């Protein structure tokens, strides 16, 4: 079964898909080994891993390349951020083709102007609803695998209000999107209202210290959400941990102690060292008598 088929199957079962945000091979492997069923490639994490803020500065090639790398690194279906689709309907068509070719299971395309900005920042601008819906139609038409999941993201809540966001989400679903993503609900009442008012499966974005209130995954599932992504779960944890250890080393002039740490070989083993090590001699010829 393809990765898209796996994700599609999860959406058909009725439970909520829980997808931690990852941005490289390390975070992808760790999330897989932790037992999660799916992954989400965070655009913010992908941008920050390259030294940029989440202001839409990365290109289609950079984003699709990172998504393909993550998809190859694990056996889990990957949902990936595709920003605004990187242009008009022509660019959206190529975006879907590149993501699908890379083994991604699904993507989301949003209705911000380009260059976009993180959905949990102020100052966002929107394209007209008709332009957004046209991009969704193009995305649906571009996929080769009918299981590839098209997610329509609207950032209208922070610009024109919740009513317009719901209207845009419903229009995108009518145009063929599989899932609606209403970004940055500001209150728990709005979080609860979205899956009631949107006429199709909904995705909830849970961002650490973002505009949406903190919520438990079980609580979100009970409200009717079908997917929950957690883009900053690992990113914020990694930043905090790195800040702490770097501060300690600067203040003490001593690197982290080896006591209680996994040996180097064990760390490598989590990334397939045993399997790759076996290939060193597997294909060598038998000694000549």
Please list the active-site residues.
40, 54, 81, 83, 108, 110, 118, 153, 183, 205
**Cis peptide leading into 196, omega within 30 of 0?**
no
Return the axis-axis angle of helices 129-142 and 89-101, rounded to nearest 10°: 40
Count of beta carbons in the 10 Å neighbourhood of residue 72: 13
Residues 248 and 279: their CA atoms lie apart, in Å, by 40
Residue 182 neighbours by CB under 8 Å, 6+ apart:
153, 154, 156, 157, 162, 165, 166, 169, 194, 198, 202
Residue 167 near residue 159, CB atoms below 8 Å:
no
Q: Half-sphere exposure of residue 116, counting CA atoms within 13 Å on the CB side?
A: 27
- Our CA angle for 253, 255, 256, nearest 5°, is 135
């Amino acid at each position: 079964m393809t990765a898209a088929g796996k994700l599609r199957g999860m959406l058909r079962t009725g439970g909520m898909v829980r997808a931690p945000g990852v941005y490289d091979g390390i975070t992808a492997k760790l999330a897989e080994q932790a037992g999660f069923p799916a992954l989400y490639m965070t655009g913010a994490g992908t941008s920050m891993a390259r030294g940029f803020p989440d202001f839409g500065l990365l290109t289609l090639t950079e984003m699709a390349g990172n998504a393909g790398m993550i998809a190859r690194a694990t056996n889990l279906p990957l949902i990936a951020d595709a920003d605004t689709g990187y242009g008009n309907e022509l660019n959206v068509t190529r975006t879907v083709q590149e993501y699908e070719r890379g083994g991604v299971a699904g993507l989301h395309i949003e209705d911000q102007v380009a260059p976009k900005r993180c959905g949990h920042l102020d100052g966002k601008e929107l394209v007209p609803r008709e332009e957004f819906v046209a991009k969704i139609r193009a995305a649906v038409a571009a996929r080769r695998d009918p299981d590839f999941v098209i997610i329509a993201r609207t950032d209208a809540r922070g610009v024109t209000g919740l009513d317009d966001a719901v209207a845009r989400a419903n229009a995108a679903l009518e145009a063929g999107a599989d899932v609606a993503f209403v970004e940055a609900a500001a209150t728990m009442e709005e979080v609860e209202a979205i899956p009631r008012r949107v006429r199709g499966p909904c995705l909830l974005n849970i961002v650490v210290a973002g505009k949406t209130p903190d919520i438990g995954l079980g609580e979100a599932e009970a409200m009717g959400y079908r997917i929950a992504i957690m883009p900053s779960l690992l990113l914020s944890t990694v930043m905090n941990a790195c800040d702490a250890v770097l501060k300690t080393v600067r203040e003490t002039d001593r690197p982290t102690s080896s006591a209680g740490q996994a040996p180097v070989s064990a760390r490598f083993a989590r990334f397939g060292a045993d399997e790759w090590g076996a290939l060193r001699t597997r294909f060598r010829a038998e000694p000549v008598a």
